[in-house]
Amino acid sequence: MTLGPIAAGLVVASAAIIGTLVYRSASSSAPSFSEVLRDDHGGTTTEDDGAVAEDDGALPGDVTVFDDEYPGVANLDPDLLQALREAATDAADDGVEFNVNSGWRTPAYQNQLLREAVSKYGSEEEAARWVATADTSPHVAGNAIDIGFDARAWLSEHGAKYGLCQIYSNEPWHYELRPAATDNGCPAMYADPTHDPRMHNDGHVRPSRPDPGDPAGLSQA
């Protein structure tokens, strides 16, 4: 069956409704319907049938941190990717390969994962323990990698030396770059993503630093 424009529209609308429900459970101020809808249109490469493509960050099996031809790898933050490649080069001496289960993702791909998680776990609250929204996911920002099983034990032991840290106790595959870890070791883990303050924004992008012409930030009120 081929989805016509009306059916495809319904899929997008359903996604927006689910996204809104998740936001409501995670935050007291939900984004407007149009904001969620716009996010869902953020990934222009998603095929009409809703399947994600490699341009969305989807990866086939056996992709390594050196496989630049895949956007899911190539669009990772350059510093994260460099640290991963340094670690993978050293790990290869121990016979360990750094496969990438998931890296960078488009908002559309992230939203699909969230829909699947809501279906799998049965509630928005439980899904939020495993999958972030497109607005909060470090994967969408290119700042996280889900590492293949074979490298997890090696990274758990040696990752901090490269600034590579597990962030959530319930996700032994999810690594991000924490540069200070090379000196201080990795920070304490959050039990799961719902404990991560980054997951509690209200969907609105804030300036990362004060406007230099307005040091008190008064114009942002």
Question: In this complex, which beta carbon is closest to Zn ion, that of residue 12 or of residue 131?
Answer: 131
Rank residues 13 and 74 by Cβ distance to Zn ion and give the closer one.
74
Q: Which is nearer to Zn ion, 174 or 178 (CB)?
A: 174
Q: How far apart are CA 43 and CA 7, in angstroms?
A: 18
Minimum distance, C-beta of residue 17 to Zn ion, in the bound complex (Å): 25
Please report, to the nearest 10 degrees, the dihedral formed by the alpha carbons of residues 59, 89, 177, 128 taken in order.
30
- Name which of 12 and 127 has its Cβ closer to Zn ion: 127
Closest approach of Cβ 137 to Zn ion, in Å? Answer: 8
Give least dist CB 29 to Zn ion, A: 26
Q: State which residue, 127 or 144, has the beta carbon closest to Zn ion.
A: 144
- In whole angstroms, the minimum distance from the beta carbon of 112 to Zn ion comes to 15
- 137 within 8 A of 38, measured Cβ to Cβ: no
Using CB positions, name the residue nearest to Zn ion.
Answer: 174
> Quick one: 103 or 203, whose CB is closer to Zn ion?
103
Closest distance to Zn ion from the beta carbon of 5 (Å) = 33
How far, in Å, are 14, 35, 58 from residue 112 at the CA level? 11, 16, 11
Main-chain phi, psi angles of 152, to 5 degrees = -65, -45
Token pair of 98 as six digits: 């750094």
Q: Per-residue b/e over 17-49, b at no fewer than 16 CB within 10 Å?
A: ebbbebbeebbeebbeeebbbebbeebeebeee
Q: Residue 167: phi, psi to the nearest 5?
A: -105, -35
Minimal distance in Å, beta carbon 146 to Zn ion? 4
Residues that bind Zn ion in the complex, under the rule CB under 5 A:
144, 146, 174
Q: Which residue has the tokens 């190539």?
A: 74
Those residues whose C-beta lies under 8 Å from the C-beta of residue 185, and which sit 6 or more positions away, are 160
